[in-house]
Amino acid sequence: MHKLIRRRQPDGAAVAPVDTLHPLLARVYSGRGIATPEELNLALDQLLPPAGLLRVDGAARLLADALAADRRILVVGDFDADGATSTALAVTSLREFGATQVDFLVPNRFEYGYGLTPEIVALAAQRCPELIITVDNGISSLDGVAAAREAGIATLITDHHLAGRELPAADVIVNPNQPGCDFASKNLAGVGVIFYIMLALRAELRSRGWFDSRPEVNLGRYLDLVALGTVADVVPLDRNNRILVAAGLARIRAGQARPGIHALLDVASRRHQSVVASDLGFAVGPRINAAGRLDDMSIGIACLLSEDAGEAAELAGRLQQLNQDRRVIEQGMQDEALQILAKLNLAEQERPPVAMTLYQGGWHQGVIGILASRIKDRLHRPVIAFADGDPGQIKGSARSIPGIHIRDILDAVATRHPGLITKFGGHAMAAGMSLPREAYDDFAAAFVEEVERHAEDVELQAVIESDGELSEQDFQLEVATALRYAGPWGQHFPEPVFDGRFNIVSQRLVGEKHLKLVLSLPGSRQILDAIAFNVDLDIWPDQSVEEVEIAYRLDVNEFRGRQSVQLVVEHLVPVL
């Protein structure tokens, strides 16, 4: 799909004096709404205080009482990278605080589905816990919490997902997105929520004299986990999240990350000394997620919990293989999905559908979310991919575009068509659901109809937001390095992208589907290396094209110890 390149308009004033901030960085920050130097201060003392989280004090008391009584604690996590980091943080920090009976349980997504279900409570009950802590899930687990209460098990729900019309009857719920919570950052990931609870627990234990006879816990040691889970879950990087991520990245670069994160960086061929947020999001996170998608997230959690470098390397190797297997499965599913789309002749339709649903019974449940994301990126439409689930049921994973709140869409469909959806949950941009197999056609029609109601003011053409052109003097290693480390960049605080026209000096394929380019600036002798990943092989390479318009990131390429400027091409079209 052709993408529209739109240049950002600065939202703020000058950020800092010229002599302390590169003018290009000042322009980039201004385009992201940064108006004062204070907003760029990412020191940990700038974090929002835990007291702003509704009922965090109650969670701290509940946990402190459990520690004092040496109660059996079971952490119930989710099967993605946020859930894995949240689980690892909860288990290790509680043990460091003094818990002697703390363990974890992560539901197998294929057997139990998502959240604290009654079936998971029954499984958990076999371990005789006195307290269940959910991390990155639980806000919709009404029946599961009721089952735990009936079994005499206390529950602490820690989550960040949107709450439904009714909250579970847990002993305590901590979630910045629950009704009545005025916490200034609604964007905490699950791992951020449990980190904040541990901050509050430490304060509560201080007040009780808990550390009079034992070392005080340094929670800064867990910021590598917080950074990884926050970036991997693609939550908006508001200032508070950027503070958390920046601190975690600093620990990793300093060689202070836990062995599992080091090992995962190694198998992904990333140097910890130069790690940035995108390395966590595109290299480490997917390898952990592969465990939850194809096998058992316990492998990922075990890797993060490991304190032995050799054991961590072995577990990271298993995760690497799972990720390679996932890629093969995903490619096969994507090929099938593109065949389905080809039969629809969308390009020939005067007005293509505003949303898309795809279903193949043989698709892998754990990979349909990635498939939906890939097709969403191709069509710039909300997409739901379905696969067979429980007997008589199909499971769907949805991905959306800006302006279409996918969970609200599903809620509206469920309200207008009672019984059509068995269950659902999620965020603005991603959601999951189950429905009867025979209801697929009716759901597909209702889904498109509901998106139509909300799409009137939504841009249905993909747009690349550009920070404008670069001058010839900007293509320098020091500028590329400054941009690389000026983030952390991520969701709602995007990495700088620039645009311009360039002459093609040479072009060739590398790695089967990546286009390696040598470019020159018009009217200049300056030569620039560039690479465009996963190009359309029906179009590129094309030796007849002499000039291109591109959107690109100015990046630092490291090869055999040598650093050089490289343009990472996000979009390219021939200039005819």
CATH of the domain spanning 48-248, picked from 1.10.275.10, 3.30.830.10, 1.10.10.10, 3.90.1640.30: 3.90.1640.30
Q: Give the chain's end-to-end CA distance (angstroms, integer).
A: 18
Q: Are 499 and 550 in contact (CB under 8 A)?
A: yes
Does the pTM surpass 0.85? The reply is yes
Q: Which two tokens stand for residue 517?
A: 């380019």
Structural tokens at position 500: 């311009």
User: What pLDDT, on the 0 to 100 scale, is given for residue 504?
Assistant: 96
544 — phi, psi (to 5°)? -80, -15
CA distance linking residue 536 with residue 305, whole number of Å = 41
Q: Do residues 357 and 381 touch, judged by C-beta distance below 8 A?
A: no
Task: Provide the token pair at 418.
Answer: 């009672």
Domains of the chain, residue spans: 48-248, 346-454, 465-574
Please give the pLDDT value at position 13. Answer: 54
Nearest to 201 by CA among 85, 56, 68, 98: 56
Question: Are 505 and 520 contacting, i.e. CB atoms less than 8 angstroms apart?
Answer: yes
> CA 243 to CA 45: how far, in whole Å?
9
Q: Are 532 and 517 in contact (CB under 8 A)?
A: yes
Angle 288-293-294 from CA coordinates, rounded to 5° = 105
Distance CA 402, CA 404 (A): 6
Calculate helix-pair angle for 285-294, 309-344, nearest 10 degrees.
70
Please spell the DSSP secondary structure of 336-347, one letter per residue. Answer: HHHHHHHHHTGG
- One-letter amino acid at 532 equals A
**pLDDT score at 167:** 97
- Report the relative pairing of strands 423-426 and 102-105 from DSSP bridges: unpaired
Q: What is the 3-state secondary structure (H, E, C) of 452-499?
A: HHHCCCCCCCCEEEECCCCCHHHCCHHHHHHHHCCCCCECCECCCCEE
Closest CA to 367 of 264, 447, 289: 289
H-run or E-run covering 53: none
Which residues contact residue 511 at a Cβ distance below 8 angstroms, ignoring those fewer than 6 apart? Answer: none
The answer for residues whose C-beta is within 8 angstroms of residue 306's C-beta and 6 or more apart is 258, 259, 260, 312, 315
Write out the CATH class of domain 465-574: mainly beta
To the question of domain 346-454 being in CATH 3.60.21.10, the answer is: no
Structure token digits, residue 457: 């003011």
H helical segments located in 521-572:
none
Question: How confident is the prediction along the chain (576 residues), in pLDDT tens digits per residue?
Answer: 578 899 998 765 555 544 578 899 999 999 999 988 899 999 999 999 999 999 999 999 999 999 999 999 999 998 899 999 999 999 999 999 999 999 999 877 667 767 899 999 999 999 999 999 999 999 999 999 999 999 999 999 999 998 888 999 999 999 999 999 999 999 999 999 999 999 999 999 999 999 999 999 999 999 999 999 999 999 999 999 999 999 999 999 999 999 999 999 999 999 999 999 999 999 999 999 999 999 889 999 999 999 999 999 999 999 999 999 999 999 999 999 999 998 888 777 777 899 999 999 999 999 999 999 999 999 999 999 999 998 999 999 999 999 999 999 999 999 999 999 998 887 788 999 999 999 999 999 999 999 999 988 888 888 999 999 999 999 999 999 999 999 999 999 999 999 999 999 999 999 889 999 999 999 888 999 999 999 988 899 999 999 999 999 999 998 888 999 999 999 999 998
Strands 172-174 and 154-158: parallel
Distance CA 302, CA 510 (A): 36
3-class DSSP assignment, residue 367 = coil
- CA–CA–CA angle 377, 381, 384 (5° rounding): 90
- Distance between CA atoms of 134 and 170, rounded to whole angstroms? 11
Give the pLDDT score at 18.
45
In 135-238, alpha helices (H): 142-150, 190-207, 223-232
Which amino acid is present at 106? V
> CA–CA separation, 62 vs 40, rounded Å?
36
> Rounded to an integer, what distance in angstroms lies between the CA atom of residue 357 and that of residue 527?
45
Domains 346-454 and 465-574 share a fold: no
Are 517 and 569 in contact by the 8 Å Cβ rule? The answer is yes
CA distance 231 to 524: 39
Q: Alpha carbon 375 to chain centroid distance?
A: 18
